[in-house]
Amino acid sequence: MISDKYFFDQKGKLNGLENTNKAIWRSSEAIGIISRDGIILSVTRDNYSMSRGNSRLTSRIFLIDSHVVCVVSGLIPDANFLINHARIQAQHYKQIFQKIIPLKKVLEEICDLKYYFTTRGDTRLFGVSFMIAGWNDLNNPIIYKTDPDGRNWSFWGAAIGYDSLINQDMLYEVFDIDFNINNALGIILDIFSKKYNFYDVTEFLDVAIIRKKDEKKLFFNLLNKKSMLSIFKFK
Amino acid sequence: MESVMSIIGKNFGIIAVDTLYVKSILSIKKDLNKIIEIGPNIYTVVSGYPGDVAQFTDLIQKSIQLHTLENGIILDINSIANLMRSEISSCLRKGPLKINLILVGFDIKCQPSLYLIDYLGNLQKMNFCAQGYSSLLIYSLLEKYFDEKINVEQAIQIIKKCISTLRSRFLVNQNGFLVKVIFNRTTKLIGVF
């Protein structure tokens, strides 16, 4: 059954894409910032009333290979499918070339699959938006933000999910070329504290600090509630 | 059957290969250049069944170019060697390619490297190497005269000794041997001996 919403309408929009974006805007919010010596990714959880027992399993931060991290906003089952595909392709690349997969190629694998479903009329789009973070060939930290139809951009500071437009504006105001990782962390905690009561927010916020260890690996540090509170008080 | 020999020195690599093209008992062409450039300053000699040789060389050459265009990174010699090996080994149980090849070039740290890839998919990094029936005669000479600290002139002398041995002892009269020296960013065609 070919549905009308995958053809361009009279105003030049794709209805399927618009509705998918709205679905993502209802999901958890995520902000990512790059700085000279590291990357910071932060994402809220779905049900913050639940206990933080299984923090790894309910987190929305995934590792695609030991040098690529991604954050998800939107439907988690769709994200699982895409991340699985990307993980397989990363190991396949390693098997053929005996080298770790470049970041751009991971992005291409995910976005090509997302794009494939935009040209078919009988299936729905993947309702997920990614922020894929890592270091590129020139050894610069980089964050790619992807849309559900396969568009991607690279940002110094990106926001997806709930309130993404407002968050993106707030990030534009504080842009500075010479960021330190502490500055970046401060910005993220600032943004969240302006919107919510900070003590409550630490219950359902995941902040990950990512530094580069060597060619193939990253230092990955997930902050817990105590450390977030201590950093915020120190500010 | 092709005769190929190759030596790696401190900052150079040298390949010598015969220039004869044979079909059953006739020699069709006596000045064929078999050293093929498949990557930036990376050379290979592929020997075996002629159809497989042409198809494999083309496939790898164009795959590498496509990869460079798609991803914007230039593959280094280690990745190219592993790509060739994985291609041969994935065809092994479908339609085996009867080829042996030698890959010479400089890696990212500007060290010369020589890879030998078998028809079964064996990949080895070596200092000196020979292919073909003539390797039975050449290996003992290379083993005796090779030293890690040789320079270009000494390496060319070793190659000349190997060629004269082949001329006097090998069954097939392979007319001439094309010798090529590969430096970090340039190559030098020594000539046909």
Phi, psi of B135 (to 5 degrees): -65, -25
> Looking at residue A130, what is its pLDDT?
95
Report, as an integer, the average pLDDT of A77-96.
94
pLDDT in tens, B122-151: 999 999 999 999 999 999 999 999 988 999
Cross-chain Cβ contact B71/A102 below 8 Å: yes
In sign, the C-alpha dihedral spanning A84, A85, A91, A94 is: negative
In the block, which residue shows the tokens 């060739």?
Answer: B84
pTM of the model: 0.86
Interchain contact B4–A (C-beta under 8 A): no
Task: State which residue of chain B sits closest to A102, comparing Cα positions.
Answer: B71
Q: What is the CA radius of gyration of chain A?
A: 18
Q: What pLDDT, on a 0 to 100 scale, did the predictor assign at position A12? A: 85
Residue B101 CB-half CA count within 13 A: 29
Rounded-to-integer distance, Cα A33 and Cα A141, Å? 10
Cβ contact, residue pair A96, B83, below 8 Å: yes
The answer to whether B75 faces chain A, any CB pair under 8 Å, is yes
Classify A100 in phi/psi space as left (phi over 0), alpha (psi -120 to 50) or beta: beta
Cβ burial, residue B44 (10 Å; 0-12/13-18/19+): buried
d(CA A183, CA A165): 22
Token pair 């990307």 in the structure block, residue:
A86
pLDDT at A96 over 80: yes
A209 to chain B nearest CA, in Å?
Answer: 28
Show the tokens assigned to A129.
């938006």
Q: Is the Cβ of B89 closer than 8 Å to some Cβ of chain A? A: no
Q: Provide the pLDDT for residue A53.
A: 58
Instruction: Read off the pLDDT of each residue in A74-102 and give the average, rounded to a whole number.
Output: 93
**pLDDT > 90: what percent of chain B?**
75
- In chain A, which residues have their Cβ closer than 8 Å to the Cβ of B70? 108
pLDDT tens for residues A23-56? 999 988 999 999 988 999 998 887 655 565 555 6
Which band of pLDDT confidence, cut at 50, 70 and 90, is reported for residue B162? very high
C-beta neighbour count of A179 within 10 angstroms: 21
Task: List residues bridging with B99 in a β-sheet.
Answer: B48
- Tell me the pLDDT tens digit for each residue of A59-70: 789 999 999 999
Q: What is the pLDDT of residues B8-63, one digit of tens each?
A: 999 999 999 999 998 888 889 998 999 999 988 999 999 999 899 999 999 999 99
Which residues have CB under 8 Å from A105's CB, separation 6+? Answer: A89, A93, B71
Partners of residue A222 on adjacent β-strands: A208
pLDDT at A51: 60
Each residue of A123-166: pLDDT tens digit? 888 999 999 999 988 889 999 999 998 999 998 899 999 889 99
Give backbone dihedrals phi and psi of B8, rounded to 5 degrees, phi first: -115, 130
Residues of A in contact with B83 (CB under 8 A): 96-97
pLDDT score of A7: 78
Task: For residue B77, list chain A residues with Cβ-Cβ distance below 8 A.
Answer: none
Name the minimum distance, in Å, from the CA of B112 to any CA of chain A: 19
Contact flag A97-B73 (C-beta cutoff 8 Å) = no
Instruction: Give me the residue from A98, A102, A108 closest to B73, CB to CB.
Output: A102
B-chain residue closest to A101, CA distance: B71
Nearest to residue A31, comparing CAs of A188, A179, A147? A188
ipTM of predicted assembly, 2 dp? 0.83
pLDDT at B59: 95
Cα–Cα distance measured from residue B18 to residue A103, given in angstroms and rounded to the nearest whole number: 43
Q: What is the mean pLDDT of residues A67-86?
A: 93
In the prediction, which pLDDT does B39 show?
87
Contact B82 A105 (CB under 8 A): no
Do residue B72 and residue A97 have CB atoms under 8 angstroms apart?
Answer: no
Nearest to B82 among A98, A104, A105 (CB): A98
Which chain B residues are Cβ-neighbours of A104 within 8 angstroms?
71-72
CB pairs A-B closer than 8 Å = 21
Give contacts of A95 with chain B, Cβ < 8 Å: 86
List of chain B residues whose C-beta atoms are within 8 Å of the C-beta of residue A99: 78-79
Query: CB distance from B78 to chain A under 8 Å?
Result: yes
Please report, rounded to a whole number, the percentage of residues in chain A having pLDDT higher than 70: 91
Q: Which amino acid is at B120?
A: L
Q: Among A44-58, A212-226, B98-112, which is the least confidently predicted range?
A: A44-58
Q: Mean pLDDT in chain B?
A: 92
Residue whose entry in the numeric block shows the structure tokens 């795959």 = B63
